[in-house]
Structure 1
Amino acid sequence: MAIELTWAWLEGYPSLDLANTVIRRGWTEHELITSTADLESWLDAAALPAARPPVVTDDDLHAFLPLRDAALRLLRAAAGHGARHRADVQTLNEHLTRFPEVLILGDHPGTAVSHVIGSPAPFALLLTKLAAAVRDVLIEDRDDLALCDAPGCGQLFFQRRTNQAWCGPACGNRARVARHHAGHS
């Protein structure tokens, strides 16, 4: 079964947009980024924390996937689904230290400007900024990160209500229909 790439984001947060490039149909996970064309499509649609690189190569794709995989596992663990693994933390930290940033004073009082150390290629800078977005979610004191457990979803989202179980109305409807059919089987 082919998966249509719609890139319909739940929140517009770079960290979740990164992790949610793996989706679930039924209880099977599907990779949405399998080629540079897929990655280009995602870059056009996603909330990005840095400028979109003008072109993407196979090397960029091979650098993207390990970061995404580590981010996905770390964010799922933070949402209470799975364990936090040291190797994933190390992968994230490697991206964070590749091109660190410092805050320098801005031109106007009370302002600061982020300045990247070094001269990273656009895609390398984007990966560093994506890693920082994931880090920021993981270190914030928030308890609203959740995993939609509706059949055919599995996306990470931020709850808008304390009792919110699904990422959106469509998933809630799917879960209720599945529960209804299971009760009448």
Structure 2
Amino acid sequence: MQDSLSRDAHLALDLALTIRQDGHGGVVDDLAEPVGLTAWVRVHPDTVAEPAGFVADEATLAAVRDVRGAVRALFAHAVRPDEPSPADATRLMPVHQAVERLNAAAARTPTVPVLHWADGTEPETHRQAAQGAGELTAVLAQAAIAFLAGPDRTRLRACHAPRCVRYFLKEHPRQEWCQPACGNRARVARHHERHKKAA
């Protein structure tokens, strides 16, 4: 992934990639339990005000998984007419429902007035996002909305190498897989398939 990607693109992709392959043909959900979300947030410190002290609970986990479900449904929609990631292709929520959920989550961060009054100046106020339960889901939803509405969305692809379930951004015209290892697996699988047919 290029360093030129926006924070929003990185965050939206990283959230979607919490569903990944386990290396043995299965799928792993990094957000299966609150401890997984706690670890994920600590690796993504710009998602909450105090990442070091963040501890996920069941309600926050459910809300983030809901946002992730909407993101993955909209990623599947964005890569059409190509096939979506096989990890959840059979259980994606409808696009209109995913849009509604993402918009509702993005609106969860209310703003509050904040007073600034330095010595020798007049008092000033500005609006600032309030910290609270909706903060994390709002940040994630807003990042996904910015990514999906931005120019990088057109480079979004689902990797269809054997056992891969990742979404990625296509960096060059001939790129077919998310990483070289997936390309190698796909070539090996095609080689075996050709030899099986020839036998």
Q: What TM-score, normalized by structure 1, do the two folds share? A: 0.75
Question: 2:67 and 2:127 mapped to 1: Cα distance?
Answer: 22
Conserved? CA contact 1:17–1:47, under 8 Å: no
**2:20 aligned counterpart, secondary structure:** strand
Conserved? CA contact 2:155–2:170, under 8 Å: yes
Query: What's 1:40 paired with?
Result: 38
Query: What's 1:15 paired with?
Result: 12
| Structure 1 residues 50 and 178, CA gap change in structure 2 (3 angstroms) | same
Conserved? CA contact 2:42–2:54, under 8 Å: no
**How far has the Cα of 1:29 moved from its partner?**
4.3
Unaligned runs of 5+ in 1: 1-10, 103-112
Which of the pair has more CA radius of gyration?
2
| Matching residue within 175, 179, 182 for 2:186 | 175
| Structure 1 residues 49 and 60, CA gap change in structure 2 (3 angstroms) | closer
| Matching residue within 107, 128, 135 for 1:97 | 107
Query: What's 2:120 paired with?
Result: none
* Aligned counterparts, 1:151-162, within 5 A: 151-162=162-173
**How far has the Cα of 1:124 moved from its partner?**
2.0
Unaligned runs of 5+ in 2: 85-91, 113-125
**2:134 aligned counterpart, secondary structure:** helix
**2:161 aligned counterpart, secondary structure:** coil
Conserved? CA contact 1:14–1:47, under 8 Å: no
| Structure 1 residues 47 and 27, CA gap change in structure 2 (3 angstroms) | farther
Moved over 6 A (4+): none
Aligned length: 162
User: Percent of counterpart pairs with the same letter?
Assistant: 30
**How far has the Cα of 1:101 moved from its partner?**
6.4
Give the structure with the higher percent helix: 2
Conserved? CA contact 2:41–2:54, under 8 Å: no
Conserved? CA contact 1:14–1:48, under 8 Å: no
**How far has the Cα of 1:24 moved from its partner?**
3.8
